[in-house]
Amino acid sequence: MKNKYFKIGKKYIGDGKKVFIIAEIGINHGGDFKKCMKMINVAVKSGADSVKIQTNDVDESYMQNTDSYKEFKYKNFSNKELLKLRKYSESLGAIFFSSPGDIKSLMRLIKIKVPVIKISSGLATNLPLIGEVVKRKIPTIISTGFLTKKDLDNLKKFINKFNFRKIAVLKCTSIYPASSSNLDLNSINFLKEKFNLPIGYSDHTIGDLAAVIAVSCGATIIEKHFTLN
């Protein structure tokens, strides 16, 4: 494989010339459409290449009366609103995309034609979900925060079944916030050797030092959670 990088719109991922920055909104908009628009604007003004939210069908993804169900309830946008967010982001020169929590949500994102799909660490072993994305040849970014070495082996074998290389893998420590003692940024090199794909880093630390070090270790994508304050 001569070139591991790929292009989304006018942005290159993994070419080594410029780090691709993802401003992770998640559900920090609280279900407020205007707030989400403002967060997109702030992210792009700060230099982000892309903005990402999370899209979930809570009844599909979580058991009722659980903390996760309560947290994600009423945080979704309609297809019309998602399309507006995508077009607004594009008008600012940024890529808009999302992490689907389930196949039903994935189909909604496909319908509004998001140019890339993010698979969260918690769903990186959900091979049916990943398969639905990759078989449609949609550029895919996969976080690996919860994965064991065996899980990584299974993921590699699975994606290798598809004749598709527009996939990037993110090193991640799934603790909020993560302390520097838990990061193991040297594993970025392990992922580079294992997957032979663009490798990035999803940063859950406070501050920017870990992201800078991750880039020095070879990360070509940085994802960072943020709020307006």
According to the model, what pLDDT value does residue 3 have?
55
* Residue pLDDT, tens place only, 12-59: 988 878 999 999 999 999 999 999 999 999 999 999 999 999 999 999
CB 104, CB 123: distance < 8 Å: no
| CA separation for the pair 151, 127 (Å, rounded) | 11
**Distance, C-alpha 60 to centroid of its chain:** 20
Q: Is the pLDDT of residue 8 over 60?
A: yes
The residues that bridge with 97 in the sheet, in sequence order, are 52
* Residue pLDDT, tens place only, 69-114: 999 999 999 999 999 999 999 999 999 999 999 999 999 999 999 9
CB 20, CB 12: distance < 8 Å: yes
| CA separation for the pair 81, 91 (Å, rounded) | 15
Q: Is the pLDDT of residue 4 over 80?
A: no
| CA separation for the pair 77, 136 (Å, rounded) | 24
* Residue pLDDT, tens place only, 11-25: 998 887 899 999 999
- The dihedral region occupied by 169, where left means phi > 0, alpha psi between -120 and 50, and beta the remainder, is beta
In percent, how much of the chain has pLDDT > 70?
99
What does each C-alpha distance from 100 to 114, 129, 132, 190 come to in angstroms? 11, 9, 11, 27
CB 100, CB 117: distance < 8 Å: yes
